[in-house]
């Protein structure tokens, strides 16, 4: 259910996914420069927004704007209802047990910092260990280094193979009596590898160790079920899920959230305040100090409603086709080597072109209106492990087509011409 | 915008065969330079004799613009006094940060003028400046330069990216 990408599953006969029809829902994809339409292949950095999200934001600010959880007047009550409805939408989206297990945050980074500070920090003592993986985004490394350093604890690392798969052969040795938490990325942003998160959770839980999953690159590509994964925490970002920037989600099991101290103090998160002391509201309010990003939440709800209406079997088949087609076409360019060839991958193709640095590739592709990401993708340990300074990364969403791949490959031909390859 | 404005033959040549690309034995000054956002890194070595750059070498990885800029820079400053080298930095910096609509003076820059196309690509200005910031750090004896730290200096606010 959560790891069907890359697995060839015999499909019932469905209509092929109509990417062209879906593209019409995304106004930005209609733009062109010098007669060249935009080939947007940087979806792992951020995704484009469907008209439904844009119209929902416009309507909220034009007709429904009010602060939540405090006004007794009509608009405030309506805004509160709309905000809390999205909490239930997210709960269904992740198949969480209860809406109170959904915390709204700024994004995946803040979600992980919240867990590091409120769940990790109070538990960490000198000599304790946090276990991460080689392919974590910096946002699932640095927050743990900060709390580990303060406690005298250390960060240990699950190794990665040359193809970009987690090497779980040593996992049993890495899970020790000092391990306080495992943090692992569901889908690698730089390589596209889909990690066997359910297995990692199972093996950690056998030793009573909780697991946080960074799902930022997973939820845009396939359905995620946090109860099937049985993870303790799951984080994702709205803007990588076709919603607005500045909004994200932390899912946490209710038993953990109830036992955790607040992350930030302020209004909204209290039960009673006196100068002698303050008692805190139960989750999720305990973790949502101050006026939240109300419009962001409502926009995220519109994005998730949009995703809900998509035919996901067809979407996943379409993305598998894009991945296969892109991999074979990009590999056909002389001098190209694809980096990250895990057996299970989301639609991400990271590559190097021999003799040409990724930044030069990116600048030249941009002249042909092909937008890709170049560099280390905030995963320097991955680059170090694979011995490459930087890659060019094409990352796809369901609105991409084979035509976008052709544009990428044609533009790569121009790169080769400029560099005399 | 023509890609050939950016990727001139001189730049492609210096990228393919960078000059002075070596660790300099007997160097009495060196500095590390990095562009943290894109991961470009270089180490610059100098032999400074009586305030004159008697020899210079560099090592590192980066894009064609940063490699060519470092190569061209080492060729341009070899034999110059530190003040002459820093004056050249000023002129170079002005060339790559002047908006495309403004006029630039390249007469004093010689081969370095090949990098004038960079000003049309604000995201790449830091690539061209990395070597020069590193030279500045080596001459100042501070040992390290980062294009991000440089961004915080008022005279660098126009480097874009």
- Do A333 and A378 lie in one domain? The reply is yes
Of A363, A389, A419, the CB nearest to B39: A389
Residue where a domain stops, chosen among A308, A336, A370: A308
Which residue has better confidence, B37 or A105? A105
Token pair for residue A226?
């946090």
CB atoms within 10 A of CB B99: 11
Tokens 């699950």 belong to A158
Q: Which residues of A touch B7 (CB under 8 A)?
A: 360, 364, 418-419
Q: B1 vs A380: CB contact, 8 Å cut-off?
A: no
Asked, for residue A2, whether it belongs to a domain, the answer is no
Q: Which domain holds residue B57?
A: 3-159
- Do A112 and A231 lie in one domain? The reply is yes
Asked, for residue A3, whether it belongs to a domain, the answer is no
- Do A33 and A158 lie in one domain? The reply is no
- Report pLDDT digits (tens) over A106-123: 999 999 999 999 999 999
Of B3, B62, B64, the CB nearest to A367: B3
Rounded Cα distance between A366 and A223, Å, is 32
Asked, for residue A9, whether it belongs to a domain, the answer is no
- Do A251 and A223 lie in one domain? The reply is yes
Rounded Cα distance between B115 and B102, Å, is 16
Of A364, A376, A419, the CB nearest to B39: A376
Residue A358: give its domain's CATH number.
3.90.1150.10
Asked, for residue A11, whether it belongs to a domain, the answer is no
CB atoms within 10 A of CB A75: 13
CB atoms within 10 A of CB A41: 27
Asked, for residue A229, whether it belongs to a domain, the answer is yes
- Report pLDDT digits (tens) over B18-43: 999 999 999 999 999 998 777 789 99
- Do A72 and A183 lie in one domain? The reply is yes
> Least CA distance to B121: which residue of chain A?
A363
Q: Which residues of B touch A371 (CB under 8 A)?
A: none
Q: A418 vs B7: CB contact, 8 Å cut-off?
A: yes
- Residue A70 is predicted with a pLDDT of 79
- Residue B39 is predicted with a pLDDT of 76
Asked, for residue A4, whether it belongs to a domain, the answer is no
- Report pLDDT digits (tens) over A212-245: 999 999 999 999 999 999 999 999 999 999 999 9
Q: A367 vs B7: CB contact, 8 Å cut-off?
A: no
Q: Which domain holds residue A339?
A: 19-48+311-418
Q: B38 vs A359: CB contact, 8 Å cut-off?
A: yes
Per the annotation, the verdict on A378 as an active-site residue is yes
- Do A124 and A103 lie in one domain? The reply is yes
Q: B38 vs A383: CB contact, 8 Å cut-off?
A: no
Residue where a domain stops, chosen among A285, A308, A331: A308
Q: A357 vs B124: CB contact, 8 Å cut-off?
A: no
Q: Judge whether residue A11 has pLDDT over 90.
A: no
**Sign of the Cα pseudo-torsion (B77, B81, B86, B92, in order):** negative
Asked, for residue A13, whether it belongs to a domain, the answer is no
- Do A33 and A92 lie in one domain? The reply is no
Reported in sequence order, the residue ranges of chain B that DSSP labels E, i.e. its strands, are 29-35, 40-49, 52-61, 144-146
Which residue has better confidence, A389 or A341? A341
What total number of domains does chain A contain?
Answer: 2
What total number of domains does chain B contain?
Answer: 1
Q: Which residues of A touch B3 (CB under 8 A)?
A: 364, 367, 414, 418
Q: A359 vs B1: CB contact, 8 Å cut-off?
A: no
Q: Which residues of B touch A383 (CB under 8 A)?
A: 39
> Least CA distance to A383: which residue of chain B?
B39
- Report pLDDT digits (tens) over B101-117: 888 888 889 999 999 99
In angstroms, the separation between the Cα of residue B49 and the nearest Cα of chain A is 35
Tokens 């994200």 belong to A248
- Do A183 and A234 lie in one domain? The reply is yes
- Residue B144 is predicted with a pLDDT of 77
Residue A148: give its domain's CATH number.
3.40.640.10
Q: Judge whether residue A10 has pLDDT over 60.
A: no
Residue where a domain stops, chosen among A250, A283, A308: A308
Asked, for residue A411, whether it belongs to a domain, the answer is yes
In angstroms, the separation between the Cα of residue A330 and the nearest Cα of chain B is 21
Of B3, B41, B121, the CB nearest to A418: B3
Q: Which residues of B touch A365 (CB under 8 A)?
A: none
A302 touches A56 (CB < 8 A): yes
Chain B residues contacting A via beta carbons under 8 Å: 1, 3-4, 6-7, 12, 37-41, 61-65, 67, 121, 123-124, 127
Q: A359 vs B6: CB contact, 8 Å cut-off?
A: no
Q: Which residues of B touch A419 (CB under 8 A)?
A: 7, 12, 64
- Residue B33 is predicted with a pLDDT of 95
In total, the C-beta contacts within 8 angstroms joining chain A to chain B are 50
pLDDT above 70 coverage of chain A, percent: 96
Of B37, B67, B121, the CB nearest to A363: B121
Q: Pick the closest to residue A212 from A93, A347, A89, A114 (CA basis).
A: A114
Which is catalytic among the residues A191, A336, A364, A378?
A378
Q: B64 vs A420: CB contact, 8 Å cut-off?
A: no
Edge-to-edge strand ranges of the sheet holding A336-339: A336-339, A348-353, A391-395, A373-375
Of the pLDDT bands very low, low, confident and very high (cuts 50, 70, 90), residue B159 is very low
Q: Which residues of A touch B63 (CB under 8 A)?
A: 357-360
A286 CB-near residues (< 8 Å, 6+ apart): A257, A260, A262, A269, A280
- Do A89 and A126 lie in one domain? The reply is yes
Q: Pick the closest to residue A17 from A347, A313, A407 (CA basis).
A: A313
- Residue A407 is predicted with a pLDDT of 98
A320 touches A313 (CB < 8 A): no
pLDDT above 90 coverage of chain A, percent: 89
Residue B60: give its domain's CATH number.
3.90.1010.10
- Report pLDDT digits (tens) over A257-288: 999 999 999 888 888 888 888 889 999 999 99
Token pair for residue B161?
């990216």
Q: A367 vs B65: CB contact, 8 Å cut-off?
A: no
Q: Judge whether residue B160 has pLDDT over 70.
A: no
Q: B63 vs A419: CB contact, 8 Å cut-off?
A: no
Rounded Cα distance between A119 and A225, Å, is 22
- Report pLDDT digits (tens) over A334-378: 999 999 999 999 999 999 999 999 999 999 999 999 999 998 899
Token pair for residue B2?
């023509």
């Amino acid at each position: 259910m959560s790891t069907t990408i890359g697995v060839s599953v015999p499909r019932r006969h469905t209509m092929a996914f109509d990417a062209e029809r879906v593209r019409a829902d995304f106004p930005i994809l209609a733009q062109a420069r010098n007669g060249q339409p935009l080939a947007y292949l940087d979806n792992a950095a951020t995704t484009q927004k469907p008209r439904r999200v844009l119209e929902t934001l416009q309507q909220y600010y034009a007709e429904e704007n009010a602060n939540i959880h405090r006004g007794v007047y009509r608009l405030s009550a309506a805004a509160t209802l709309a905000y809390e409805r999205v909490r239930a939408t997210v709960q269904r989206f992740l198949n969480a047990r209860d809406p109170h297990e959904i915390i709204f945050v700024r994004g995946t980074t803040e979600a992980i910092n919240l867990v590091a500070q409120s769940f990790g920090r109070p538990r960490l003592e000198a000599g304790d260990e946090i276990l991460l993986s080689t392919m974590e985004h910096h946002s699932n490394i640095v927050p743990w280094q900060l709390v580990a350093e303060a406690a005298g604890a250390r960060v240990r690392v699950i190794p990665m193979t040359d193809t970009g798969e987690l090497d779980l052969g040593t996992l049993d040795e890495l899970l020790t009596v000092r391990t306080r938490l495992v943090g692992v990325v569901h889908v690698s942003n730089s390589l596209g590898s889909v990690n066997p998160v359910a297995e990692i959770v199972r093996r950690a839980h056998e030793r009573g160790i909780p697991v946080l999953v960074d799902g930022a690159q997973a939820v845009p590509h396939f359905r995620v079920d946090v109860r099937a994964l049985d993870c303790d925490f799951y984080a994702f970002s709205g803007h990588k899920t076709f919603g607005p920037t500045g909004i994200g989600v932390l899912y946490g099991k209710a038993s953990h959230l109830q036992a955790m101290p607040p992350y930030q103090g302020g209004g909204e998160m209290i039960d009673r305040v006196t100068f002698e002391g303050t008692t805190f509201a139960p989750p999720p309010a305990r973790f949502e100090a101050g006026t939240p990003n109300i419009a962001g939440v409502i926009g995220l709800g519109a994005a998730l409603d949009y995703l809900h209406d998509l035919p996901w079997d067809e979407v996943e088949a379409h993305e598998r086709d894009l991945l296969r087609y892109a991999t074979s076409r990009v590999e056909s360019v002389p001098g190209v080597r694809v980096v990250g060839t895990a057996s299970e991958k989301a639609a991400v193709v990271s590559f190097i072109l021999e003799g040409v640095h990724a930044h030069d590739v990116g600048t030249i592709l941009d002249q042909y209106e092909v937008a890709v990401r170049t560099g280390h993708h905030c995963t320097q340990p991955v680059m170090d492990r694979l011995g490459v300074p930087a890659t060019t990364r094409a990352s796809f969403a369901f609105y991409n087509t084979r035509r976008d791949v052709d544009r990428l490959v044609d533009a790569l031909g121009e790169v080769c011409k400029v560099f005399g390859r | 915008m023509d890609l050939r404005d950016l990727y001139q033959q001189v730049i492609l040549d210096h990228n393919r065969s960078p000059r002075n690309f070596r660790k300099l034995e007997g160097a009495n000054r060196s500095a590390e330079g990095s562009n943290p956002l894109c991961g470009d890194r270089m180490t610059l070595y100098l032999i400074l004799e009586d305030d004159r750059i008697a020899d210079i070498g560099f090592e590192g990885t980066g894009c064609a613009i940063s490699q060519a800029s470092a190569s061209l820079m080492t060729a341009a400053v070899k034999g110059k006094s530190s003040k002459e080298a820093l004056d050249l930095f000023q002129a170079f910096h002005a060339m790559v940060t002047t908006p495309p609509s403004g006029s630039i003076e390249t007469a004093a820059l010689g081969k370095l003028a090949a990098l004038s196309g960079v000003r049309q690509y604000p995201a790449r200005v830091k690539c061209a400046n990395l070597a020069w910031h590193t030279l500045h750090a080596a001459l100042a004896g501070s040992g390290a330069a980062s294009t991000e730290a440089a961004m915080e200096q008022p005279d660098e606010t126009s480097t874009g990216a």
